[in-house]
Structure 1
Amino acid sequence: MSLKFDAQDLARAVSAGILQPGQDQRLLEFLCQQPETRASFQLAHIAYYFGALLIMGAMGWLLTEAWMKIGDVALLAIALLYMGLFTLTGISLWKRDLQIPGGLLGAVAVSLTPLAVFAIQRLTGLWLLGDSQGDYNDYYRYVQGGWLAMEIATVIAGLLMLRLLPFPFIVMPMAVALWFMSMDLTELAYGSPFSWEQRRWVSLWFGLVLLLASLLVDGRSRRDFAFWGYFAGLLAFWGGLSLMDSGSEWGKAIYCLINLGLMGIAVLLRRPLFMVFGALGVAGYLGYLASEVFEDSLLFPIVLTLIGLGVIALGIAYQKRRDQLTGSLRSRLPESLLEYLPALRR
């Protein structure tokens, strides 16, 4: 439903005491911004996030072996220098009301914590993995109990950064560190490297725990700190679930039901992320059925096209009726359960 009003309507709101004198003009100026201005503002957001992810990648899993040869002292100095510069610049931008780029630079500084701890461990002789796992980018590729100090330090750095810059994306490098930590702690518990099947189970359970933790913090503050927790939790949970070998038709059907459940949660919480992952899972299951039924058939690409169109139509229908769907679903839940659900976000 779209509402139309003009300056006279806002003036009446001032007369009625709903708006303070002067607020009507500021509100009118804001609402009358040109569409081009708003579009460029959104494009700036994309540029901010893309730039931050590029820096994280460059100083993380894309760090080459050549960097390991410059020496641990130089590596530590560079890591600390970058962390300091990104933090100070982020705080400066934050104070100038540029909260998105400022918060993203804070997240970049947190993502550099493992590199600094890596260099400190090698300098102090506390490095446990030896030369066999001596490259920093192995941190992003292998499960090893020796990475534990780097992961704990990242979580602590993230918590401290959130006090300086309460920006939701800072939760993301913390969530990744916790995900790695769950793997490394499991490796320590098993006492030996564990199989990919075990890793998938660890990823699934960790993702589920992270989703529940995000649900508990959802709606507790003005800023949406739960979003990136949901995102990381869904990546871990849905990724582990989707990579499992069900071994039977019943297992694949249960996989489809779980993804339908994710779509239901999207309606309940009004979180499109759950709809995206759930729809991907259901589409994958329907694609599997199509390949079994229409194997080596000319109809196979047509059926897949119809499935894709169905997913798009489902998204359109959800977008148009999300308020009615959410209200209808919540009205069917007991009051005792509704108390634990977060307030809805637009």
Structure 2
Amino acid sequence: MNTFGNIFRLTTFGESHGPAVGGVVDGMPAGIVIDMDFLQAELNRRRPGQSRLTTPRKESDTVELLSGVFEGKSTGCPIGFIVRNENQHSSDYDNLKDIFRPSHADYTYFYKYGIRDHRGGGRSSARETISRVVGGALAKMALRQLNIDIIAYTSQVGEIALEKNYQQYDFSEIEKNAVRCPDSQKSEEMAQKIEAVKAEGDTIGGVITCIIKGCPIGLGEPAFGKLHAALGAAMLSINAVKGFEYGGGFDCVKYRGSELNDIFYTNKEGNIRTHTNDSGGIQGGISNGEDIYFRVAFKPVATLLREQETVDTQGRPTIVKARGRHDACVLPRAVPIVEAMAAMTLLDAYLKNKTTRI
């Protein structure tokens, strides 16, 4: 499956060490102003080599739109795009041709298809997420007209975690540091942690928090089309993601219903709201108009610059040590990916919702 979405759909193609990665966005509403500066800026947030904390692979990640845009606006036709790969070091992976790297897709991909591209993981490489960021940026442009805003940030690296509610942070601080954390003190601690782990040839995981503001009431469906299920599926499709929780999440198990229920009230404008938001902006699988917020857990990157035991394609024991350029922590570059998947999910749900009521 290389296509995401129902009405707003993204189909991606390409491999890490091929000529390019790209995609086709279908279902983009017509008449949306296409802000190329914004689109490129979103890709720049994801691209490698942007700080001392990320892989040093140098890629401009310049996007080329091939169709679906005329005089600066979307036409309603499919938007085709490519981002050319410019700095592959395929020889760095020669020693992995006949070896299964621990916790990678190597073994499962080879077993399923009988062939695999060992250069950077081929299709299973996180470089595929470039196409998601492009699709997400286009979705964000459409969501702007609905006053829907999506913000994500790094809230935990290893054991270093933010302790305050998201409402207590200044989101303008997120892009001021390499970790993309709204707490300047914690961001420095996180950066030091990543650098220390990197120096040991190891990796570390963490958590990204995402908030959706301005979501209208009524998105999502009550049974198998729940909005939180769609968001969860979108997040769990991202490389290295191991967990998803929204609202009160797993902490809810510690409380009684009398402590956790979000009590309704009518505000001065006559709108029904809730005093608290442990539901995370979604009740019964349908958005209720409050902020939607969720957390995404990322495992440590599986590629280590140190020796590990493994087996080759014949099942014989061997030792593997990765070469090349790799992230010690994916969190900083994954922030725009989380936002992109959330944006595409929300726009798809909005367009789908327009057909449910006359």
Higher helix share: 1
Regarding TM over 0.5, the answer is no
Larger Rg: 1 or 2?
Answer: 1
Bigger RCO (CA 8 Å, 6+ sep):
2
Category of TM-score, reference length = shorter chain = under 0.3
Task: Please give the TM-score of this superposition, normalised by the length of structure 2.
Answer: 0.23
Higher strand share: 2
